[in-house]
Structure 1
Amino acid sequence: MALQEELKQQGDFLFKYRSYIPILLIFIGLGVQVYQIKTYGDLESNTVGYWLQQLALSTGILGLLVRVFTVGYTPKNTSGRNAKEGQVADTLNTSGIYSLIRNPLYLGNYLMWVAVAMLTGNIWFVLLFTLGFWMFYERIIFAEETFLRRKFGEAYLNWASKTPIFLPKHFNYQKPSYSFSWKKVIKKEKNGLFALFLLFWIFQLLGDYVKTGELEVNPTWQAYGALATGVWYLIIKVIRKNTSLLNEEGR
């Protein structure tokens, strides 16, 4: 098999399971956190640890906001969590944040996941995660771009030639072609904030257990955040399943 076909095959596979594979980060990261605490002590007990947590939380929320801004301005069957169906694109997104970078959702994903990696307090793990993330998404992006090139032809090539993959090189922002849809954001991104706070809480619980030898649920901001966003997630899930309140034509 030629390298291009092999990369595309790998990318198609990773695309379908891209929501599950990063879960490995959680288990590896938890192991790294245990090692850090046993070797270097508790980060949370000093100022550096406190500000590291705040930086991680801010990074994760920034990633979620990037996803919200991206999804809110896009039409149906683009920029979504379409893992089961494989590659789907009824139209080519080139306006809004897509006028700055080609893969804003993956930038948002990186920021959210690297925030979790930062909770370990281990810079080497963060760097290795970043390298692994790039290798993982490089193949997904290759498969996506192969699909988009075949479907949209010259229009895609013209857009791709002047728009960077991941980080903006210019700020020639073009106004989005669609109005912002909070309904689509709530429907599609309902689990992002919950997942972020839940992971922060899991890391906090494990850290406390390693330090004290007891699993205690204390009234921390991580616990309150996970509880509040978990309730929000369940409410939206029930609304979406039993009503058409979040439905919107073409979105």
Structure 2
Amino acid sequence: MALIEELEEQGNVLFKFRSYIPIFFLASGLGVYAYKIYDMSYPDLGFNYWLVCLAVGLLGLLVRIYAVGHTPANTSGRNTAEGQVAAELNQTGIYSLVRHPLYLGNFLMWLGVAMLTADLWYLVAFTFTYWVYYERIMFAEEAFLRRKFGEPYLKWASDKPAFIPKLKSPTTPKYPFSIKKILKKEKNGVAAMFGLFYIFEVVGEYIKWGEYTFKPTFWFWGFAVSTILYLILKVIKRSTNILEEEGR
């Protein structure tokens, strides 16, 4: 098998299982963080550093929200079982700046969590692993889009970076922003972010003191409130059609 077909095949396999890669990032990052706490080598960066980490993660979520909120139905997003899906080619809005904004958003979200380790070499390893994994997925996606859309895709992609956006204003999105689509598709982002930060806090406190005494910290309340909102939206999605929007 030629390398080009091998990379595409690997990308298609990884695409279907890409929802599980966060488990690896969480386990490895939490392991590094726990070891540094145990070894007493974790720097005293304070609460403000954690807020910076949160800001990086939420920036990634905002990138995803902007991208998803302006896209039509049946374009690649969270789908996994169907494989590659693209009813039309997204070219406007953030897609006028970068070819893979969703993976850029994912990277920033996980970078925020990875930064909690306060370990430069782990951040380097995380970035390298993310790139190797998602490079193959992006390769497979682009091969699919090239076959499906042909010349229009090549023309659009010719001056759009794959991952690092152009520093210019995006074009006006073809579709208006859909808050319903965001509440339906991206409802778990904030809860997941606060949940991960709270897990790091609990693990760190337990290792440092040999026990964990519950305290209603900022990270606990962020996780609790965002989880309640997530569950409410999940019930609304399952029991009503309020969040349904034709073509989105």
Same topology, TM > 0.5:
yes
Give per-residue Cα distances to partners, 1:67-106, cap 9 Å, x unaligned.
0011000000114201111100000000000000001010
Give TM-score, length-normalised by structure 2. 0.97
**Equivalent residue number for residue 116 of structure 1:** 113
Q: CA deviation at 1:169?
A: 3.0
**Partner residue, 1:241:** 238
Contact 2:42 2:118 in 1 (8 A): no
Once residues 133 and 49 of structure 1 are traced to their aligned partners in structure 2, the CA distance between those partners, rounded to angstroms, is 27
The aligned residue for residue 189 of structure 1 is: 186
CA shift for structure 1 position 163: 0.8
Q: Deviations over 1:146-183 (max 9, x none)?
A: 00000000000001101111112342521000010000
Match of 1:28 in 2: 28
User: How much does 1:234 deviate?
Assistant: 0.6
What residue number does 2:61 align with?
Answer: 64
Runs of 4+ in 1 over 4 A off after TM superposition: none
**Structure 1 stretch displaced more, 97-106 or 163-172:** 163-172
State the alpha-carbon separation in 2 of the partners of residues 137 and 129 from structure 1.
Answer: 12
State the SS of the aligned residue for 1:119: helix
| Distance of 1:167 and 1:77 partners within structure 2 | 25
Paired residues for 1:1-251 under 5 Å? 1-43=1-43, 46=44, 48-171=45-168, 173-251=170-248
Q: For residues 158 and 227 of structure 1, do their structure 2 counterparts lie closer, same or farther at Cα, with a shift above 3 Å needed?
A: same
User: 5+ unaligned residues in a row in structure 2: which ranges?
Assistant: none
Equivalent-residue separation in structure 2 for 1:35 and 1:241 (angstroms): 41
Instruction: Work out the CA distance in 2 between the residues paired with 1:132 and 1:217.
Output: 35
The amino acid across from 1:83 in the alignment is: T
- Cα deviation, 1:119-159, whole Å, max 9, x if unaligned, reads 11111101110011000100000000000000000000001
SS in structure 1 of the partner of residue 20 of structure 2: coil
Structure 1 distance, partners of 2:161, 2:235, is 39
- Amino-acid identity (%): 55
CA distance in 1, matches of 2:177, 2:93: 10
Aligned length: 248
- Indicate if the aligned counterparts of 1:52 and 1:118 stay in contact, CA closer than 8 A: no
Cα RMSD, aligned residues only? 1.2
Q: TM-score, normalised by structure 1?
A: 0.96
